[in-house]
A and B are shown apart, each in its own frame.
Chain A
Amino acid sequence: MIDWTAFLIVAAITWFSAMAIVAAYSFGVRLLAVAKDEGRNQSLSNAGAYACFAICGLIVLFGVVLIVPQLSEAILGFSSSH
């Protein structure tokens, strides 16, 4: 009766998405710190940092698309709603 796979899905997706976003953001923060070091290519590090922040935003956007049935049907061509 109890749908245990649903709990596994919640756990796996929570862990994966939270860690992916935190990792991307942390690399961004680190690159911003590196950019201030002596003898580094400042603009390259900064660009890398903003690319990392953009990845965070993209992961969140993808999540929202998955949740909203209308959006996931329009963009991904399928809906994961029940």
Chain B
Amino acid sequence: MDLTLIVVLVIALALFFDFTNGFHDTANAMATPIATGAISPKKAVALAAILNLVGAFLSTEVAKTISGGIINEDPTSGVAIGPAMIFAGLMGAVIWNLFTWLLGLPSSSSHALFGGLVGAAIVGAGFASVNYSVLLSKVLLPALCAPVIAGISAYLCTKLAYAITKRENGAAPKRGGFRYGQIFSSSLVALSHGTNDAQKTMGIITLTLVASGLQDSDSGVQFWVVATCAFAIALGTYTGGWRIIATMGSGLTDVKPAQGFAAEMSTASAILTSSHLGFALSTTQVASGSVIGSGMGRKGGEVRWGTAGRIALGWLFTLPAAAAVGGVAAAITHLGTIGIVIVAIAGTGAMLTIWFLSRKQPHDHESNISDIDNSGAAVNILTKKERRAKAKAEAKLAKAAAAQKEADNS
């Protein structure tokens, strides 16, 4: 197959991936201010699209991690893998993403991308083609640390916001101002989404250009790559917004404006700082960490560890599963041109099948308009009445224990 044709194929598929990423993640940023009525849905979606576009232009550190770190360099050809293998890896990521979307499983599109790429590289060029220390320090460890960091931040910020706005002698705290603050904090989340997620596609396209000898391995990301990725994610964000508007009014987790503001500020800070240091994160995971953290920071907040654990398990599963799909695709591309044709046709067929299946059955997870909404369900906020009942029960238990002790001593 012509070298340039496969490059064009990879770029098209990468931009499609970028588009679905924006499509999928709009709700994460903009659902709460729309729900609280702080901003009209049309304005919110347009704002999110513009900020994703701007965010994509801010930094290229994450793109450099992907294009120049994860896959080892090869002295003869620049990088250890060819464009066909990147194509296979991307196909694995896209199919796994659509498949989990169809089943309503929690998943991370970023981890699907890395999984697919690593799986394809291992099958296509052996275990030595992947730089595991970069994979560990820039992808796997940040995936564990960043949601925890954001969660702790959201917990502290929620406590702080409630403490500062608490009024003495029964005056109303009037926390309504946080509703408008959420326009500001949601905008920052959209901006940070652009800085981290759009860059993953930039990294993939740059890696392809390097692998096919069209660019030096040590040069940065080209401007047209930045621009096309920025527009693809912005277009996806804008298109995805209509889905939120259509499903609006369905069950949204009980997030109060002050709490939402604290959570979103923590999410945006964590993602922006990580982007600057080249950590390729899943923005959904960070946002979920913040939602859970801020829920714990509210009076009477309790975590349903079972639900939280199920979500985390789905995330852990993403990387190896996408690696398996990417590996299979890479094995097929080894057949040469015919293999690439098979992967392209089978992949497109799988995408269309999943899409038709999704139209046929109404899915339950669509009632939850965003992934972080699922994480919100992992926090249980007790009402005042429930808190009192719980305190009473605990006091009773403590009394019984004390009485028991007394009886033992005598």
State which of A6, A17, A23, A30 has its C-beta within 8 Å of the C-beta of B277: A6
Instruction: List chain A residues, Cβ under 8 A from B141.
Output: 2, 7
B165 touches A17 (CB 8 A): no
Q: Does B56 contact A (CB under 8 A)?
A: no
Q: Does B270 contact A (CB under 8 A)?
A: yes
Q: Mark A13-35, 1 if CB is under 8 A from B, else 0.
A: 11101110111011111101100
Instruction: List chain B residues, Cβ under 8 A from A6.
Output: 137, 277, 279
B261 touches A22 (CB 8 A): yes
Instruction: List chain A residues, Cβ under 8 A from B279.
Output: 6, 10
Q: Which of B144-176 contact A (CB under 8 A)?
A: 145-146, 149-150, 152-154, 156-157, 160-161, 164-165, 167, 171-175
B171 touches A33 (CB 8 A): yes
Size of interface on B: residues with Cβ below 8 Å to A: 50
Q: Does A47 contact B (CB under 8 A)?
A: no
Central interface residue in A18, A27, A82, by most chain B CB within 10 Å: A18
Give the Cβ gap from A77 to chain B, nearest Cβ, in Å: 18
Complex CA–CA separation, A26 to B175 (angstroms): 9
Instruction: List chain A residues, Cβ under 8 A from B184.
Output: 56
Give the Cβ gap from A52 to chain B, nearest Cβ, in Å: 10
Q: Does A43 contact B (CB under 8 A)?
A: no
Central interface residue in B64, B274, B276, by most chain A CB within 10 Å: B276
B273 touches A3 (CB 8 A): no
Complex CA–CA separation, A66 to B312 (angstroms): 32
Give A80's nearest chain B residue, CB to CB: B276
Central interface residue in B136, B157, B160, B278, by most chain A CB within 10 Å: B157
Give the Cβ gap from B153 to chain A, nearest Cβ, in Å: 5
Known contacts A21-B265, A81-B61; A2 and B276 CB within 8 A of each other = no
State which of A1, A33, A82 has its C-beta within 8 Å of the C-beta of B133: A1
Known contacts A10-B273, A25-B181, A82-B278; A18 and B153 CB within 8 A of each other = yes
Size of interface on A: residues with Cβ below 8 Å to B: 38
A3 touches B149 (CB 8 A): no
Instruction: List chain B residues, Cβ under 8 A from A19.
Output: 153, 156-157, 160
Known contacts A10-B145, A14-B270, A19-B156; A67 and B59 CB within 8 A of each other = yes
Q: Does A11 contact B (CB under 8 A)?
A: yes
Give the Cβ gap from B152 to chain A, nearest Cβ, in Å: 7
A1 touches B137 (CB 8 A): yes
Q: Does A58 contact B (CB under 8 A)?
A: no
A29 touches B177 (CB 8 A): yes
Complex CA–CA separation, A70 to B109 (angstroms): 30
Q: Does A74 contact B (CB under 8 A)?
A: no
Complex CA–CA separation, A37 to B107 (angstroms): 49
Give the Cβ gap from B158 to chain A, nearest Cβ, in Å: 8
Q: Does B100 contact A (CB under 8 A)?
A: no
Known contacts A10-B274, A23-B164, A25-B181; A18 and B266 CB within 8 A of each other = yes
Q: Does B71 contact A (CB under 8 A)?
A: no
B272 touches A32 (CB 8 A): no
Known contacts A14-B150, A18-B157, A22-B265; A32 and B174 CB within 8 A of each other = yes
A22 touches B262 (CB 8 A): yes
Complex CA–CA separation, A52 to B33 (angstroms): 21
Q: Which of A31-46 contact B (CB under 8 A)?
A: 32-33, 36-37
A26 touches B153 (CB 8 A): no
Complex CA–CA separation, A32 to B160 (angstroms): 17
Complex CA–CA separation, A18 to B272 (angstroms): 11
Q: Does B195 contact A (CB under 8 A)?
A: yes
Instruction: List chain A residues, Cβ under 8 A from B153.
Output: 14-15, 18-19
Complex CA–CA separation, A15 to B290 (angstroms): 12
A11 touches B149 (CB 8 A): yes
Q: Which residues of B contact A (CB under 8 A)?
A: 58-59, 61, 64, 133, 136-137, 141-142, 145-146, 149-150, 152-154, 156-157, 160-161, 164-165, 167, 171-175, 177-178, 181, 184, 188, 195, 258, 261-262, 265-266, 268-270, 272-279
Q: Apart from A32-B177, A82-B278, what 13 extra A-B contacts exist at CB < 8 Å? A: A1-B137, A10-B146, A18-B270, A22-B157, A22-B261, A25-B178, A33-B171, A33-B173, A60-B188, A68-B58, A69-B59, A81-B61, A82-B64
**19 sample A-B contacts, Cβ–Cβ < 8 Å, listed by A number:** A1-B133, A9-B273, A9-B277, A10-B142, A10-B277, A15-B153, A18-B153, A18-B268, A19-B160, A21-B265, A22-B160, A22-B161, A30-B167, A33-B177, A63-B269, A69-B59, A81-B59, A81-B276, A82-B278
